[in-house]
Structure 1
Amino acid sequence: MTDIQDFKGRTALVTGAGSGIGAACAKALAARGAAKLILLDVNEAGLAALDLDCEVEHVIGSVANEALWNDLEPRLTGLDHSIANAGVGGHGQVAALDFAEWRRVMDINLDGVFLTMRASMRAMKDKGGSAVITSSSTGLKPIAGIGPYGVAKAAVSHLTRIAALEGAPNNIRVNAIAPGGVDTAIWESSDDFKRSVEAQGREATIKTMSSTTPLGRFASSEEIADNILYMLSDAGSNLTGHVMVSDGGFTL
Structure 2
Amino acid sequence: MACPSIRIAGDVSNEAHWAEVESHLTRLDHAVLNAGVASGSAIGQTEFAEWRRVLATNLDGAFLSLRAAMRTIADNGSMALTASISGIRAEPGTAAYGASKAGVIQLAKVAAKEGAPRGVRVNAIAPGGVDTPIWDDMPFFRGLVDGHGGDRAAALADMAKMATPLGRYATAEEIAGQIAFLLSDAAATITGAVLTSDGGYSL
Shorter-chain TM-score range:
over 0.9
Residue of structure 2 aligned with 1:182, choices 115, 130, 138: 130
Secondary structure of the 2:195 match is strand
- Alpha-carbon offset, residue 121 of structure 1: 0.6
Which residues in structure 2 correspond to 1:43-58 (within 5 Å)? 55-58=4-7
1:224 is matched with: 175
- Alpha-carbon offset, residue 77 of structure 1: 1.1
The one-character-per-residue Cα deviations of 1:151-191 (angstroms, maximum 9, x if unpaired) are 11111111111110011112211000000110000001111
Secondary structure of the 1:230 match is helix
List runs of 5+ in structure 2 lacking aligned partners.
none
- 1:84 partnered with 2:33: yes
The residue identity in structure 2 corresponding to 1:109 is N
Structure 2: distance between partners of 1:130 and 1:186: 26
Residue of structure 1 aligned with 2:63, choices 114, 117, 123: 114
- Alpha-carbon offset, residue 193 of structure 1: 1.2
> Which structure has more RCO (C-alpha within 8 Å, separation ≥ 6)?
2
When residues 61 and 116 of structure 1 are mapped into structure 2, their CA distance, relative to the original with a 3 A threshold, is: same
- Alpha-carbon offset, residue 74 of structure 1: 2.7
Structure 1: distance between partners of 2:10 and 2:171: 26
Secondary structure of the 2:75 match is coil
Q: Is the 8 A contact 2:40 2:139 kept in 1?
A: no
Secondary structure of the 2:114 match is helix
Secondary structure of the 1:209 match is helix
- 1:236 partnered with 2:184: no
TM-score of the aligned structures, taking structure 1 as reference length: 0.77
- 1:163 partnered with 2:115: no
Q: Percent identity?
A: 47
Which residues in structure 2 correspond to 1:23-172 (within 5 Å)? 35-36=2-3, 55-124=4-73, 127-172=75-120
Number of residues of Structure 1 aligned to a counterpart in Structure 2: 200
| Over 6 Å off, 4+ runs | none
Structure 2: distance between partners of 1:78 and 1:191: 41
1:215 is matched with: 166
Structure 2: distance between partners of 1:199 and 1:58: 39
The one-character-per-residue Cα deviations of 1:111-135 (angstroms, maximum 9, x if unpaired) are 00000100001001x5341100000
